[in-house]
């Protein structure tokens, strides 16, 4: 599939497979082709999300907090409370 935009052409690969929903105990399941799983990085654990009438399956990061600290800037921490003025009513409420 080729998508034309104002100043660029974007090529998107679209794969389509039709499969049958099968009974698995009291639930239902389907077989996902290995080539689909390989191209998405899905191994064992996934997130399943319902969007309208679509089911979206996405891989779960091995470490949920992976990369969350990468963009932390310590120099901004010092000025985080700069100019903060506590309310008069707040000063007497706290005791440590």
- How large a percentage of the chain has pLDDT more than 70? 71
What CATH topology corresponds to 1-62?
A: Pemi-like Protein 1; Chain: D (2.10.260)
Domain ranges across the chain: 1-62
Q: What was the pLDDT predicted at 18?
A: 86
Q: What was the pLDDT predicted at 8?
A: 63
Q: Per residue, what are the HEC states of the chain?
A: CEEECCCCEEECCCCCCCCCCEEECCEEECCCCHHHHHHHCCCCCEEEEEECCEEEEEECCCCCCCCCCCCCCHHHHHCCCCCCCCCHHHHCCCCC
Backbone angles phi, psi at 17, to 5 degrees: -140, 135
Q: What was the pLDDT predicted at 25?
A: 92
């Amino acid at each position: 599939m080729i998508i034309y935009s104002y100043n660029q052409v974007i090529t998107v690969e679209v794969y389509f497979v039709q499969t049958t929903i099968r009974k698995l105990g009291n639930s239902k399941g389907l077989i996902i082709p290995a080539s689909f799983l390989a191209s998405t990085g899905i191994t064992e654990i996934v997130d399943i999300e319902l969007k309208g009438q679509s089911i979206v399956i996405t891989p779960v990061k091995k470490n949920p907090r992976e990369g969350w600290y990468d963009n932390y800037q310590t120099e901004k921490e010092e000025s985080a409370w700069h100019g903060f003025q506590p309310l008069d009513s707040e000063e007497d409420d706290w005791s440590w």
